Amino acid sequence: MKLLPIRLFRLLARVLLMAGVLLLAAGGSFSLAEQVAIPVQLQGSQNTITIRADSQQKEQSVYRLLGNVEITYQDMKLTSHEASYDATSGEVVAQGDVVFTDPQSHIAADQVHYNVLTRKGWFSSGTGFFHAKIRPRTRVLRTENPFYFQAARVDRLNEDTYIIDQGSITTCECADKGWSISVHNARVEVNDKLVTHGATFRLLRIPLFYS
């Protein structure tokens, strides 16, 4: 019976030690994964936002993430050097080698503002491609190649519609060996059409006509 207090003391010491390790991990440079609180509009079994980063800080509803950031929601994934996520508004702001992917697109950018609620956002200095869903049409030539692009800014209006400013678009993986369109501004409706303003059509990098 005299050994019982010592055993309890050792058990308590182990519990305190584990608590200290957890606190250290929360504030250190360890890789952290957390399923964060999500807005009411997103709640449901299929609507879980997961964030990972070397370090995390929370200020009210905003998570500050630094180092090897990874944010996933349904079929969307975003990686960057640093980011913030507002659990109330659903707004994500990321910068530093940002890569955004979903089934329709792959976009690398310097900076991204994206809202998981509206699925809208914009990308600074963006490059990447959009995948088109092929819908057969008579007398219309279709391609299964994605739309490759680069632009000073890309605005995503929805999963199929993008606005491109000061950029170029092509379906050729290498524009030097195919065609491209340089634009001041363009509206890309991935499954339908491309509407351009101030465009130059090039073949093998040679300008052929302007609009």
pLDDT tens-digit readout, 52-63: 999 999 999 999
Q: Would the pLDDT of 4 be above 50?
A: no
**Closest residue by Cα to residue 169 from 199, 139, 191:** 199
pLDDT of residue 34: 54
Those residues whose C-beta lies under 8 Å from the C-beta of residue 114, and which sit 6 or more positions away, are: 78, 91, 92, 94, 100, 120, 121, 156
For residues 85 and 63, the answer to whether their CB atoms sit within 8 Å is: yes
pLDDT in tens, 114-168: 999 899 999 999 999 987 665 555 544 455 678 899 999 999 998 889 999 999 9
pLDDT of residue 35: 53
pLDDT of residue 144: 65
Distances (CA, A) of 103 to 76, 107, 130, 132: 8, 12, 9, 10
pLDDT of residue 16: 43
CA dihedral 26, 30, 31, 36 (to 10 degrees): 10
**What residues are paired with 131 via a beta bridge?**
none
pLDDT in tens, 66-103: 999 999 998 999 999 999 999 999 999 999 999 999 98
Q: pTM for the full model?
A: 0.72
Mean pLDDT for 190-196 is: 80
pLDDT of residue 143: 56
With vertex at residue 123, the alpha carbon angle to CA 200 and CA 115, rounded to the nearest 5 degrees, is 135
Chain center to CA of 60: 23
**Closest residue by Cα to residue 162 from 198, 126, 186:** 186
Task: In whole angstroms, give the CA distance from residue 193 to residue 77.
Answer: 27
pLDDT in tens, 7-43: 444 544 454 445 444 443 444 333 455 555 445 444 5
Query: In this structure, is the dihedral angle defined by the CA atoms of residues 156, 146, 164 and 137, taken in order, positive or negative?
Result: negative
**Closest residue by Cα to residue 147 from 158, 136, 157, 133:** 133
Q: What is the mean pLDDT of the chain?
A: 78
What is the DSSP code string of 29-59? SS-EEEE----GGG-STT--EEEEESEEEEE
Model confidence band, residue 208 (pLDDT cutoffs 50, 70, 90)? confident
pLDDT of residue 21: 40
